[in-house]
Structures are given as structure tokens and as C-alpha cells.
Amino acid sequence: MSAQIESHGVVPSYLLARLAASGRFPRAAAAARQTLTAGRPPFRARIDLSIDENGDLVAQLSDAPNRTINDAANTQDLPGAVVRSEDDPPVADAPVNEAYDGLGATFELLLSAFGRNSLDDAGAPLDATVHYGVDYDNAFWDGERMVFGDGDGEVFRGFTGSLTVIGHELAHGVVQHTANLEYQGQPGALNESIADVFGALTEQYAQGQSAADATWLIGAEIFTEAVEGVALRSMIAPGTGYDDDELGKDPQPDHMSGFVRTTEDNGGVHINSGIPNRAFALFATDLGGNAWETAGTVWYRALTGGLSSTATFTAFADATVAAASEVDEATATAARRAWTTVGVYEDERVPAAD
């Protein structure tokens, strides 16, 4: 298995390894073994027409996505045949349309919330391949495109059905073009957490959900009913995503006191990401309103404001507080409070309440 597939797949390798030994889900076990051993292998504008007060036709140019969906036809050959391009109508294959729509929803979040024109802020095309492999139990960003498996049908459904998964994986492309956080230890956990933040924000923006109304679940749609669990991860309550006899219990800690030191999972990047995940969810719900507005902008500015590729949790927390301070002191205090609650800051970092 290549390092990339282990690093950037939305389903952690430790979960697939547990599933690979399952006696309860034989097809899923075989699919997990296959997934673990498989290799990972221009500016576009939108014209909006309107009628001005004089009755003249006005054309306004704005940024727009440039999407191409390919079909690997259950092989591992990328990119596969083109099956839908930008401005093409929906096709009969649901995963193709789900991928197309998910790429568009992520583009709209980046543009509307952060003024970012695609992953590189220069209109990069958004490419995706569906039907990758046979019973492939993952979705991943390979540095150039999104790749979706169909799942095994026993434990995992197709991955195109989850908007948080699509937003998460495309966010790895944003990180790649900004701080380029190392995929190991705390920087790697921040990489995963920021991807989860963007995944959650993509869903919330698309559905018009406030921070209070959001589920804060990542991958809620990808488990079948056979699994005892609600999602791959919960940002608001790390460690509660699933608790299944075959898959085990979600191992994410919600506080630095539970930080996991391991050589697996690139030093626990999918595990320890629960700590900064919870910090963001707490920050967003503390502020109230829509999370992609103030809270999301603070996180985005911290990511794009010169963050080191080896940033620790504390370094990123400091960057978010600095970005929040540019809003106002109440926002900065909320950011400090969130990082203190999850144990990244000591209590004295938060001013005492009056």
C-alpha cells in the first residue's frame, strides 16, 4: 500500500485493519483487505445575465467551478473515462451526479465564505473519479483529484453520498496549496482536522444550518445500518462516532489529556485530530450563528496567514487567536476558551470572568 492512500483516505487505516479481521462482515472484510493493499495511483468563469433599470442586458463575469467527473469502471486505473463535464446535464449514474454536486458545493463554500477561487485560489479545475476499484472502502485526495470507492455494501456505502467526505478531501487540496502541513504527528492531525472543518462547513453552508443546528458529524452517510455508529467522527463529541463489536470504539480523544502517542496512522493523525476538531466546534457554537462566517474565517486566516508546515496544536491555536483578535476581543476570548477547554492552553490563557 502506498503512503498516500493511507495518509489521505477519509477512512483511517486502523479502522480498515479492524474490519479486515471481521467474521461478522465477510464481504466487508475482504473489501477492507483489498482496500488496504491497493495502490493509489484553467481558470473558468461564470456569466450571470440580468436586466438593468434601462432594460439593457447586462453580463457579469464571476468565478465558477470547472468540474470533470471520470469513471474508473471498477478498476484502479486513473483517471478513467470522462462521464460528465462542467455544464453537462445530470447522467443516469447517481455517484457521478453526487460527485459533481459535491465538488460544486465545496467550490461555493470556498468562494462565498472565504473569497477563494477553487483549491489554489486561481481557478484550479475540480476533477474526480468514481467507481474506483471493486468494493473499495475509501475516498481520497491524491494531490490532483478526488477518488471515490463504492464501498462494500455491508459496512460502507458509496462515498459520493457524503458531502462532508467530499468537502474534507478537497480541503486537503486547500491545505496543500497553503500551509502544506506535514502529514505526521500534530501537524498531520491539524491537516486532518482542518479538512474536517471544511467538510462540516461545506455541509452546513449547503444546508443553511447554524452552528447550533449542525450535527458536526463527518461521514454520517457512509455506514450501513449494520454498524453501531452514527459517523466516522463527531467534531463536537470526539470518540462517539461509533462503538461496534466488529469495528471497535471510535478512538478519538476530546482533550490533550487523552492525546494518543503511536507510530500507527502517521502518528495518530486521524485520532488526535479530535482535539482541534472539538476546539473549532466549541468556538463556532460559542459564537453562534453560521459557523462558516466568523469562526470559519478565523480558521481560514490562521491556515493562510503564514502558518508553518510543522505547526503544533499550540502554534495553530495562537494563529487562530491572532486572527480572532482582528475581529474583536470577545471573539479572541472565545477562541482562547475553546483551546483551553480541550487542554491545548492552560487555564491562565483565558481571562477570569468578571
Torsion angle of C-alpha atoms 84, 86, 89, 93, degrees rounded to 10:
30
Annotated active-site residue in 169, 182, 192, 203: 169
7 confidence band (pLDDT: 50, 70, 90): very low
pLDDT of residue 55: 58
Q: Whole-angstrom Cα distance, residue 44 to residue 60?
A: 14
3-349: what CATH class? mainly alpha
pLDDT, average across residues 47-75: 70
Task: List, for residues 322-351, the tens digit of each pLDDT value.
Answer: 999 999 999 999 999 999 999 999 875 555
pLDDT at 117 over 70: yes
Question: Among residues 161, 156, 336, 309, which one has the least CA distance to residue 246?
Answer: 156
pLDDT of residue 36: 73
Whether residue 270 lies in the annotated active site = yes
Q: Whole-angstrom Cα distance, residue 275 to residue 277?
A: 5
pLDDT, average across residues 90-113: 96
Q: How far is CA 210 from CA 38, 263, 268, in A?
A: 39, 38, 30
pTM score, two decimals? 0.85
Contacts 24+ apart (CB under 8 A), 114-118: 114/296, 114/297, 114/300, 116/174, 116/300, 117/43, 117/63, 118/63, 118/65, 118/66
Torsion angle of C-alpha atoms 312, 5, 14, 223, degrees rounded to 10:
110
pLDDT of residue 41: 45
| Whether 146 contacts 168, CB under 8 Å | no
- A 10 A CB-CB count for 334 gives 25
| Whether 155 contacts 137, CB under 8 Å | yes
Task: List, for residues 267-323, the tens digit of each pLDDT value.
Answer: 999 999 999 999 999 999 999 999 999 999 999 999 999 999 999 999 999 999 999
Paired strand residues for 128: 69, 146
Kindly give, in sequence order, each residue whose CB lies less than 8 Å from that of residue 278, ignoring residues fewer than 6 positions away.
Answer: 235, 236, 237, 238, 254, 255, 341, 342
Annotated active-site residue in 8, 168, 172, 270: 270
pLDDT of residue 42: 34
pLDDT of residue 337: 97
Would you list the domain boundaries of the chain? 3-349
Kindly calculate the radius of gyration of the chain based on its CA atoms and give it in whole angstroms: 20
| Whether 212 contacts 285, CB under 8 Å | yes
pLDDT of residue 58: 44
pLDDT at 245 over 60: yes
| Whether 137 contacts 31, CB under 8 Å | yes
Task: List, for residues 197-238, the tens digit of each pLDDT value.
Answer: 999 999 999 999 999 999 999 999 999 999 999 999 999 999
Q: Which of 38-42, 64-68, 87-91 has the weakest average pLDDT?
A: 38-42
Residue of 138 and 61 predicted with greater confidence: 138
pLDDT of residue 248: 93
Residue of 8 and 117 predicted with greater confidence: 117
Work out the percent of the chain whose per-residue pLDDT is above 70. 88
* Grid cell locating 296: 470559519
pLDDT at 16 over 90: no
Q: Whole-angstrom Cα distance, residue 77 to residue 68?
A: 16
DSSP 292-318: TTHHHHHHHHHHHSS--TT--HHHHHH
Paired strand residues for 218: 233
